[in-house]
Each structure stands twice: as structure tokens, then as C-alpha cells.
Amino acid sequence: MASKRGALIVLEGVDRAGKTTQCNKLVQALIERGRPAEMMRFPDRSTTIGQLISAYLQKKSDLEDHTVHLLFSANRWELVPVMKKKLEQGITLVVDRYAFSGVAFTSAKPGFSLDWCMKPDEGLPKPDLVMFLQLNPAEAALRGQFGTERYETSAFQKAVHERFEQLMKDSSVNWKVIDASQNIEGVHNDIRTHSLNVFNEAQNTPLGELWR
Ligand code: ADP
Ligand code: FDM
């Protein structure tokens, strides 16, 4: 029996914008409304590729910049069969970072174009909705210090933010900008409303292919 597919919902945003907090709250809210939902995050550090990425982020290993970009992408592709299966089963996936982080972070490094960075992720399952949690650096700073992982510096995060702004100009992706400076419940209300709004369309249209 053909059942209605789940929606693919992605949260993106700068460090400490509240992505993880909000992914958890959205999954809980959807389940309470009788919609099966699960959270995923990228990188998924549990796989063999994810462990290479994790060691790189923790600065326990060094990897050449193109190589690590392709590993982040491979980490998404290796999860695609699982994602498709869950979506087909009617499970909505709420994803903490996706290809947009992949492109924003690598293209913030010298010598990387957006185009080059997007290529490996072309054709991934296309999110029905991508919410960008917008927060200025001063407010992010109030939520705690940067951690010790690679990329966690204000200069790099500023460059990443600029790349996200570029990516958000692409109207082929259903972007919504969320004011992440509100309190946790306020942000959640906005995210829940946008998410519930995409369900009908997601259930009646096949899953798309990203950047194709
Ligand atoms: P991210 O996954 O984007 O890095 P987190 O969800 O881990 O962000 O949140 C970072 C920190 O900020 C946590 O300590 C969290 O409790 C806090 N936080 C999250 N959302 C808010 C909010 N709307 N207002 C104030 N603090 C928040
Ligand atoms: N990151 C994340 C990338 O550089 N490329 C990617 O494709 C993805 C998904 O890895 F600095 C970066 C973004 C962030 C780090 O940190 C992952 P969290 O705390 O696990 O989200």
C-alpha cells in the first residue's frame, strides 16, 4: 500500500544559533501531533567516514581541504538509502545541518567557489523546507564561548555566514529565515508553524533532487 511520505526538514545556522535545541523540540512536537518524526545530524560521526571527519574537526588529524569536503559529502550520500527508506515509510526527518553547511564552510576557505563545493551534493534528497536560524555574533557570544573544534573562530564563522547569505539567494530551495534571537519557545513556534505548513505539499509531491 502506498502511504504518504514524510517531509525532509533541515535546520541550518551559525554556531550556537539553537539548531540542536530546536531539532529536538520539533521532533517532539511532531510526534505529539501524531506525525512520526526522527532527528538526524550531519556530520553523522558514527560511521567510518564520520569518524574520519570527527578526528579532523577535533584537530586530532589533518586532511587536505578538498578531501575533507568530499568526505562530508560522502557522509551524506552514505545515509541516503536510510533517509529515503524512512521518508517512504512516512517518517519525517528533522536534520541538523545538511549540504548547505557543507558548501558554506568549505567555500569560506580560500580558493573554493560555491559551484565547486555544490557539485558533490547535487542530486541528494531535496529538503521540503530549510530553516536558517539567524543570530548575530554578539548574541551568539552571550550563549557561551566557542568550543575548541576546527572552524570555531569568529573570523571564520563570519565568512561562513556570508556564504550562507549567498546560498539563500537560490530560489530553487524553500528557505525560511527564522529570528533565532527570540526565546526558545518563540523560535520553536515559528519553526513548528513553517514545518506544519509544508506537510500537505510534501505528502502530495515526490521527493526532489537538490540543485538539479
Ligand atoms: P547549535 O546546535 O546551533 O550550536 P544549541 O542548540 O546547541 O545550538 O544551543 C547553543 C546554546 O544556546 C545551548 O546552551 C542552548 O541551551 C542555548 N540556546 C539555544 N536556544 C536558545 C535561545 N533561543 N535563547 C537562549 N539560549 C539558547
Ligand atoms: N561542517 C558540517 C562542514 O564543514 N561541512 C559539512 O558538510 C557539515 C555538515 O562541521 F563546524 C562543519 C560545521 C561545524 C562542524 O559541528 C560540525 P557540529 O557541532 O557537529 O554541528
| 172-200 residue pLDDT tens | 999 999 999 999 999 999 999 999 999 88
CA 143 to ligand 1 centroid distance, Å: 7
Q: Tell me, what amino acid is at 30? A: L
pLDDT digits (tens, 9 = 90+) for 44-69: 999 999 999 999 999 999 999 999 99
Q: Which ligand approaches the C-alpha of residue 185 most closely? A: 1
What 3 state SS string does the chain have? CCCCCCCEEEEEECCCCCHHHHHHHHHHHHHHCCCCEEEEECCCCCCHHHHHHHHHHCCCCCCCHHHHHHHHHHHHHCCHHHHHHHHHCCCEEEEECCHHHHHHHHHCCCCCCHHHHHHHHCCCEECCEEEEEECCHHHHHHCCCCCCCCCCCHHHHHHHHHHHHHHCCCCCCCEEEEECCCCHHHHHHHHHHHHHHHHHHHHHCCCEECCC
- Given a cut of 50, whether residue 160 has pLDDT beyond it is yes
**What integer pLDDT is reported at residue 180 of this predicted model?**
98
Q: Which residue has the higher pLDDT, 2 or 197?
A: 197
**What integer pLDDT is reported at residue 1 of this predicted model?**
39
| CA–CA distance, 209 with 10 (Å, rounded to integer) | 14
The residue whose C-alpha atom lies closest to atom 7 belonging to ligand 2 is 102
The residue whose C-alpha atom lies closest to atom 12 belonging to ligand 1 is 143
CA 189 to ligand 2 centroid distance, Å: 26
The residue whose C-alpha atom lies closest to atom 19 belonging to ligand 1 is 18
**What integer pLDDT is reported at residue 127 of this predicted model?**
98
The residue whose C-alpha atom lies closest to atom 16 belonging to ligand 1 is 21
CA 53 to ligand 2 centroid distance, Å: 9
What are 132's strand-pairing partners? 12, 177
CA 38 to ligand 2 centroid distance, Å: 20
What mean pLDDT is reported for the chain? 96
**What integer pLDDT is reported at residue 10 of this predicted model?**
99
| CA–CA distance, 20 with 94 (Å, rounded to integer) | 10
Q: Report which ligand 1 atom has the smallest distance to the Cα of 11.
A: 3
pTM of the model as a whole: 0.98
What 3 state SS string does 16-46 have? CCCHHHHHHHHHHHHHHCCCCEEEEECCCCC
- Given a cut of 80, whether residue 3 has pLDDT beyond it is no
- Given a cut of 80, whether residue 204 has pLDDT beyond it is yes
Q: Which residue has the higher pLDDT, 190 or 2?
A: 190
Backbone angles phi, psi at 131, to 5 degrees: -105, 125
**Pocket lining: 125 vs ligand 2, CB cutoff 6 Å:** no
- 47 by Cβ neighbours in 10 Å (0-12 / 13-18 / 19+) ranks as middle
- Given a cut of 60, whether residue 2 has pLDDT beyond it is no
Q: Work out the percent of the chain whose per-residue pLDDT is above 90.
A: 92
